[in-house]
Structure formats: C-alpha cells, structure tokens
Amino acid sequence: MKPPVLLFVSEYDAPTEWREAIAAADPGIEFRAYPEMGDPGEIDAALVWAPPAQVMAACTNLKMVSILGAGADAAIGATWLPEGVPVCRIVDDGMQRMMVAYVVHAVLAIHRDASRTMKARRERRWDYVHPRDTAERRVGVMGLGNLGGAAAKAIAMLGFPVSGWSRSPKAIPGIACFSGMDSLATFLEGCDVLVVLLPLTPETRGILDAAALAHLPEGAFVVNAGRGALLDEAALEAEIRSGRIAGATLDVFQEEPLPEGHPFWDLEEVMITPHHASVPNPMTAAPQVAANVRRAVAGEPLLNVIDPSRGY
Ligand SMILES: NC(=O)c1ccc[n+]([C@@H]2O[C@H](COP(=O)([O-])OP(=O)(O)OC[C@H]3O[C@@H](n4cnc5c(N)ncnc54)[C@H](OP(=O)(O)O)[C@@H]3O)[C@@H](O)[C@H]2O)c1
C-alpha cells in the first residue's frame, strides 16, 4: 500500500522544520514541499498557508486541508479551497504558550506604562510615577477558546480582575464569564484593558465598531491579536485621538503589512506588532497534523476540524 502523502505549501513557514517534525511524529507519511509535489493525484492531504489555487486544484484526491495556524478565516470560502474538502486548524500547546506570552507582555506593558519609562530613559530623565496594583485594573478577554481562555487564566494569575466573553456560556474559575450579544455592552463596560482573541467569522466581522468601543470605560486600552477585520480601525483612531481610549496594542490589521500611510503609524499611543503574536510550533503541532493525515486516509473523524457553518 502506498504511504499517505502530505503536501506542504507556505511562503511563511519553514518546510525543513515541518519535514523533520512530521517524520518524527509519523515516519510512514511521505512529506512533499511545494513546488516539488510530484504527481498531484497522489496527494492525500495538504498543510498550507495561502496556497496558489491552481496547486490545490491539481490535487484531485485531496481528503483534508490543515491550515498552518489557528484561524480558519483564511480558508473558509477561499478560492483555493477545493469544494467539499474538510479544513482542520492547529490547536497546539506551543502556539498557546506563545500567545499567552504576547498577551501578558502587552497587558503588563500597558499596566506599567512601559512606553513612558522607555521614553524617559531615552531622554535621561528620572520619571517617577507611583505604580498601581494589578488588582486595580480590570482586563476583559473577548474569545475564551484555546488561546483566549489560556490568556485570561494567565492574566488572572497576575492579580488582575479578569472577565471573558464567548458565544456559549462558560464557567472558568477566577474569570467572570459573559456570553452572547446581549451581554456584550455590559462586558465591555468592565474592561480597562480589552484583549481581543476572537476568530473572524460572519458574526464577529466588525464587532468592535464605534458603538461597541463607546462602551469601554474612559482611559481604556485595546489589545487585538485576533484578526484586523474584527475592529473598525477608523473608530479606534477617533477614540484615541479624542483621548477617550488611552491606547492600543495591535498585532493584526485590516491590511497587512500595515500600509505606509496608515494613520496608526502617526499615533504614539498605538503599539504596532507585525502579526507575530503566535505561530504553530512544528514539533508540538506535527503529531495532530500526522494523526489527521492518517484519519483522512482512513475516512475517520478529523481532529480540530472547522465547522463551516460557524466559521471557526
Ligand atoms: N495574531 C496571531 O499571531 C494569531 C495567532 C493565532 C490565532 N490568532 C487568532 O486567534 C483566534 C482565536 O484562536 P483560538 O484558537 O483561541 O480559537 P477558538 O479555540 O476557536 O476560540 C474562539 C473563541 O471565540 C468565541 N467566539 C466565536 N464566535 C463568537 C461570537 N460570535 N461571539 C462571541 N464569542 C465568539 C468562541 O466561543 P465558544 O467558546 O462559545 O465557541 C471561543 O471562545 C483565531 O481564530 C485567530 O484569528 C491570531
């Protein structure tokens, strides 16, 4: 019997690391890295980020696509996704740790006013500001899934009062949990720092519009590491320019890379990071990809499969 064949296609991820990690997870899987794809009809599964449509269309026996990331928005409805092929995402401890580190860093930098300290240091000024206890700043996390749930717990461990918002009701010890659109305004009203870790779906696109941002308390901060299109960038800019929202740490944008003339570049209150909050770690993520290749070939249920009707 021929070994299952996994095609790797990404401009952003290292094929060598993935080749080694897949071989370590399951040496019986044949790994091919695009453009060396051999006979496309032999390919059973694909591990991809933004692949060319014609490459995917050539894989006429494709049984599963695994996205090189946690967000499925780039795949759902994408022109490159062959009809009827299920999409899986990566749910990985390494990726979760990386996102938790990003969020904790962002929240602490806001809480300790790191940009003010660094500015004073550059200007050789001793700029004493009395520090505040973490218990005095409320942090709210939108999205309590694999990444948001872990980030919320890590922030709570630092002593911040933490709330969270999700689609379905949750009970997480130490986190005040809200769910559904009816509770969104109340949730936002209690966020001195709002951390956004929602997936981008038809329901969440543009969810942080001017009306939603207006519910944040005076002097609040926004941290968005979910997707750029969750947030109305012009509305956030207006809130920051007016001084009502104190600042933002943004890893994701409606257009990436952030265009040269974008107003955020002129706002010192906006910390810009280049969509680098978290990526899959090949060594920790490869076992689930390898298991899904086997499952797809055997016609068994897949792990971490996206529900196209929910969009995540
Ligand atoms: N910046 C980066 O480098 C980076 C890296 C990785 C991922 N991401 C982004 O992070 C997102 C979250 O990843 P994840 O692995 O944590 O996803 P996940 O496990 O699927 O969790 C998604 C969370 O969002 C909630 N949610 C979805 N739709 C909602 C709605 N309409 N209203 C309220 N809550 C809603 C879900 O609610 P339920 O719990 O009720 O289902 C769940 O709690 C990804 O989709 C991706 O866009 C960014």
Alpha-carbon gap, residue 256 to 274, rounded angstroms: 8
12 CA from centroid of ligand 1 (Å)? 22
Alpha-carbon gap, residue 305 to 312, rounded angstroms: 9
Burial of residue 145, with CB atoms counted within 10 A of its CB: 0-12 exposed, 13-18 middle, 19 or more buried:
middle
Q: Which segments in the chain show pLDDT lower than 70?
A: none
Q: Residue 111: its pLDDT value, please?
A: 98
177 CA from centroid of ligand 1 (Å)? 15
Task: Answer whether the bond into residue 282 is a cis peptide, omega within 30°.
Answer: no
What pLDDT, in 10s, does the model give residues 159-193? Answer: 999 999 999 999 999 999 999 999 999 999 999 99
Task: Answer whether the bond into residue 257 is a cis peptide, omega within 30°.
Answer: yes
- Residue with CA closest to ligand 1 atom 24: 143
Q: Which two tokens stand for residue 209?
A: 């519009």
Q: Residue 1: its pLDDT value, please?
A: 81
Point out the residues that are catalytic: 227, 275
H or E segment at 119? Answer: helix 114-122
* DSSP states of 268-291: TTEEE--S-S----HHHHHHHHHH
Q: Residue 74: its pLDDT value, please?
A: 85
The number of the ligand 1 atom at minimal distance from the alpha carbon of 201 is 28
Give all strands of the β-sheet with 139-142 in edge-to-edge order: 175-179, 162-166, 139-142, 193-196, 220-224, 245-250, 270-272
Beta strands in the chain (DSSP E): 5-9, 30-33, 45-48, 64-67, 87-88, 139-142, 162-166, 175-179, 193-196, 220-224, 245-250, 270-272
Q: Which residues line ligand 1 (CB under 6 A)?
A: 69-71, 99, 143-148, 166-168, 197-201, 203-204, 225-227, 251-252, 275, 277-278, 312
Ligand 1, residues 166, 179, 186, 281: which to mutate, most atoms within 8 A of Cβ?
Answer: 166
Q: Residue 256: its pLDDT value, please?
A: 96
128 CA from centroid of ligand 1 (Å)? 39
Q: Residue 77: its pLDDT value, please?
A: 85
- Residue with CA closest to ligand 1 atom 22: 145
